[in-house]
Amino acid sequence: MSSDTLSLLMPLLSTFILLLVTYFIGSWLERRHFTSIREREAALRKFPVLTFETLPNTWHVASSDLVSGSVVISLDYFKRFVAALRSLVGGRIKTYEPLLDRARREAVLRMTEEAKMTGFDAVINVRLETSRLASSRRDGKGIAGVEMLAFGTGIRFAKPNAG
């Protein structure tokens, strides 16, 4: 094959291989993460994580403190490629949805794990925050990943109280 034809095909071929490899690695990691999330959620199922801003007046709290959990996740090449195509025509970027779902649930899980380890009985006033981490490439225009932060007030009951 002439070197011109080859030089035209090479970038196309490398893009294709990169897409294929990142798709398989990316979805394998995603499946594994979801499995881990489900197991841990099931284990922490009985720990109350609530969004109340103020305590119900029947609750008697001995101590409270800030608890938080954060996670930083990055996009894989395949997801970014699909999203770039999607941005031409608009619509839901479906490949990003599981990514953000994982981030939200992981952040809440980490917060809950911290609360449980500290000895709290519940977390109230739970909030989620997200921020974008800019890429160092392309003048910081690209996205390196997002940080998902879950925080709330961990409380320890003064006496047994089921709420």
Partner 1 sequence: MKFQPRAPREGINVSDEHPLKEFSVLVVGLAVAFALVAVVVVFFVDLAVPLIPAEAEAKALSSWIPDGLELKSGEEAEALQDLTRRLAAHWPDCPYQFRTGVFPSDDPNAMALPGGLILVSTALLKGIESENELAAVLGHEIGHFQQRDHLRLFGRGVVLQVLMAVTLGQGGGLTLGDYVSSLTLNSFGREQEIQADSFGLSLVQAEYGHVNGSWRFFDRLGAEDTRIDRLATYLATHPASADRSERLRRLAVEKGWSLEGPLTDWD
Site residues (vs partner 1, CB under 8 A): 1-5, 8-9, 11-12, 14-15, 23, 27, 38, 41-42, 45-48, 56, 77-82, 84-89, 92, 94-95, 97-98, 100-101, 104-105, 162-163
In the bound state with partner 1, the residue whose beta carbon lies nearer, of 83 and 133, is 83
Rounded to 5 degrees, what are φ and ψ at 59?
Answer: -85, 135
Shortest Å, Cβ 27 to partner 1:
7
In the bound state with partner 1, the residue whose beta carbon lies nearer, of 8 and 158, is 8
Shortest Å, Cβ 76 to partner 1:
10
Tell me the β-bridge partners of 65. 154
In the bound state with partner 1, the residue whose beta carbon lies nearer, of 41 and 65, is 41
In the bound state with partner 1, the residue whose beta carbon lies nearer, of 23 and 72, is 23
Q: Which two tokens stand for residue 105?
A: 């649930």
Report in angstroms the alpha-carbon separations of 133 from 73, 141, 144.
Answer: 10, 10, 6
Nearest to 111, CA basis, from 133, 120, 24:
120
Rounded to whole angstroms, the Cα distance separating 161 from 86 reads 50
Given CA atoms 143, 22, 72, 49 in this order, what sign does their dihedral have?
A: positive
Shortest Å, Cβ 59 to partner 1:
11
Q: Give yes or no for a contact between 133 and 145, defined as CB atoms under 8 angstroms apart.
A: yes
Rounded to whole angstroms, the Cα distance separating 66 from 94 reads 34
Shortest Å, Cβ 72 to partner 1:
19
Shortest Å, Cβ 29 to partner 1:
13
In the bound state with partner 1, the residue whose beta carbon lies nearer, of 65 and 101, is 101
